């Protein structure tokens, strides 16, 4: 990883938990558990490499249409990681921020999420955004309504301040595991000039080395932002 141009902000679409579990002849819930474990491992590594901001897509707004049994499992995992196992998150020594509409979660889980955010607010090791019940279109519509409600016009920059990522630079690199080549309603406004990287690995098996490969690949790209290459 020498002489590598590091992304400041890396976002992950952590897909493939269910298929990974099926390949191991286990229920989907087993895949989600392995997925959360891998999330702390890979994201900790990202911060260790020097990435300052990591955003993970943990639960989309559309995922709420999944069967009740699966949602119960997912909510239980969220309860565990912001409750009993919160140390796993705190160990990362980074500021934790949850994006998305958490009002669908049980009140005690919402309270745990807020307390983890408060507890980590002073941590300076980086910023870790966890997207729960997040949808980019919903976020954009909410922002438009907020602008309309205060009767003001927006420009590109002031519109950004109405999004849940206000104050956070756009992701430089978005990594999606699981083999699908789409964004699935993730950070649609913020991803305008993100570099996209798709891995066939299922999320629970995406390793630290895979992350390094993705960053090396990013590092070799020429980001022109519509301009022409100079020099
Ligand atoms: C991603 O894994 C995690 C969530 C969406 C909650 P999936 O559950 O979508 O796993 P696959 O895509 O079915 O394998
Ligand atoms: C995207 O994965 C959402 C998360 C990883 C949280 P999905 O499994 O929901 O995406 P689709 O349905 O394949 O587009
Ligand atoms: Mg999926």
Q: How far is the CA of 15 from the centre of ligand 2 (A)?
A: 6
Question: Would you place residue 3 in the very low, low, confident or very high pLDDT band (cuts 50, 70, 90)?
Answer: confident
Mutate to test the pocket of ligand 2, among 129, 133, 180, 185 (most ligand atoms within 8 A of CB): 180
Contacts of 136 (CB under 8 A, 6+ apart): 183, 185, 186, 187, 188, 189
Please report, for the chain, the start and end positions of each structural domain, with discontinuous segments joined by +: 9-219
Per-residue pLDDT tens digits for 10-37: 999 999 999 999 999 999 999 999 999 9
Helix (H) or strand (E) holding 13: strand 9-13
Catalytic residue positions? 15, 63
pLDDT given for residue 1 in this prediction: 62
Strands 173-176, 127-134: pairing is unpaired
Q: Is the pTM of this model over 0.75?
A: yes
Q: What is the atom index within ligand 2 of the atom nearest the CA of 59? A: 6
pLDDT given for residue 2 in this prediction: 61
Biggest distance spanned by C-alpha atoms of the chain: 57
Per-residue pLDDT tens digits for 69-126: 999 999 999 999 999 999 999 999 999 999 999 999 999 999 999 999 999 999 999 9
pLDDT given for residue 191 in this prediction: 98
Ligand 1 pocket, residue 39 CB under 6 Å: no
Per-residue pLDDT tens digits for 120-168: 999 999 999 999 999 999 999 999 999 999 999 999 999 999 999 999 9
Using H for helix, E for strand and C for coil, what is the string for 122-147? CCCCCEEEEEEEECHHHHHHHHHHHH
Which pair of structure tokens corresponds to residue 16? 């493939």
Q: How far is the CA of 201 from the centre of ligand 2 (A)?
A: 14
Question: Where do runs of H (alpha helix) occur along the chain?
Answer: 17-23, 28-49, 68-82, 86-90, 107-120, 136-149, 156-160, 208-219
Q: What is the atom index within ligand 1 of the atom nearest the CA of 16? A: 14
Mean pLDDT over 208-214 rounds to 98
CATH topology of domain 9-219: Undecaprenyl pyrophosphate synthetase (3.40.1180)
pLDDT given for residue 229 in this prediction: 82
Q: How far is the CA of 186 from the centre of ligand 2 (A)?
A: 9
Ligand found nearest the CA of 57: 2
> What is the residue with the minimal CA distance to atom 13 of ligand 1?
18
Q: How far is the CA of 60 from the centre of ligand 2 (A)?
A: 7
Contacts of 24 (CB under 8 A, 6+ apart): 30
Ligand found nearest the CA of 182: 2
C-alpha distances out from residue 46 to 112, 148, 152, Å: 25, 38, 39
Strands 127-134, 9-13: pairing is unpaired
pLDDT given for residue 223 in this prediction: 97
pLDDT given for residue 121 in this prediction: 97
C-alpha to C-alpha distance for 60 and 118, rounded to whole angstroms: 23
pLDDT given for residue 231 in this prediction: 62
Mean pLDDT over 41-48 rounds to 98
C-alpha distances out from residue 176 to 33, 54, 68, 90, 173, Å: 18, 13, 25, 25, 10
Mutate to test the pocket of ligand 1, among 12, 13, 14, 17 (most ligand atoms within 8 A of CB): 17
Mutate to test the pocket of ligand 1, among 26, 178, 199, 202 (most ligand atoms within 8 A of CB): 178
C-alpha distances out from residue 102 to 79, 97, 108, 163, 205, Å: 12, 12, 11, 15, 28
Which pair of structure tokens corresponds to residue 200? 């066939």
pLDDT given for residue 89 in this prediction: 95
Contacts of 84 (CB under 8 A, 6+ apart): none
C-alpha to C-alpha distance for 211 and 190, rounded to whole angstroms: 21
C-alpha to C-alpha distance for 184 and 30, rounded to whole angstroms: 23
């Amino acid at each position: 990883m020498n002489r590598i141009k590091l992304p400041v902000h890396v976002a992950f679409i952590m897909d493939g938990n269910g298929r990974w579990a099926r390949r191991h002849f286990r229920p989907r819930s087993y895949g989600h558990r392995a997925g959360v474990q891998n999330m702390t491992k890979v994201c900790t590594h990202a911060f260790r490499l020097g990435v300052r901001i990591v955003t993970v897509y943990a639960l989309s707004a559309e995922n709420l249409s999944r069967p009740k049994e699966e949602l119960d499992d997912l909510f239980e995992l969220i309860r565990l990681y912001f409750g009993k196992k919160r140390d796993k998150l705190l160990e990362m020594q980074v500021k934790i921020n949850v994006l998305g509409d958490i009002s669908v979660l049980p009140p005690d889980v919402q309270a745990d999420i807020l307390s983890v955010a408060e507890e980590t607010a002073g941590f300076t090791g980086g910023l870790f955004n966890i997207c729960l019940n997040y949808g980019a279109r919903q976020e954009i519509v909410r922002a438009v309504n907020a602008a309309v409600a205060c009767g003001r016009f927006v420009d590109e920059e002031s519109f950004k301040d109405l999004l849940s990522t206000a104050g956070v630079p756009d992701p430089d690199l978005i990594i999606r595991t699981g083999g699908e080549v789409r964004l699935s309603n993730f950070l649609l406004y913020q991803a305008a000039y993100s570099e996209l990287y798709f891995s066939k690995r299922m999320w629970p098996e995406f390793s630290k080395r895979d992350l390094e490969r993705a960053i090396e690949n990013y590092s070799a790209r020429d980001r022109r932002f519509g301009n022409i290459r100079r020099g």
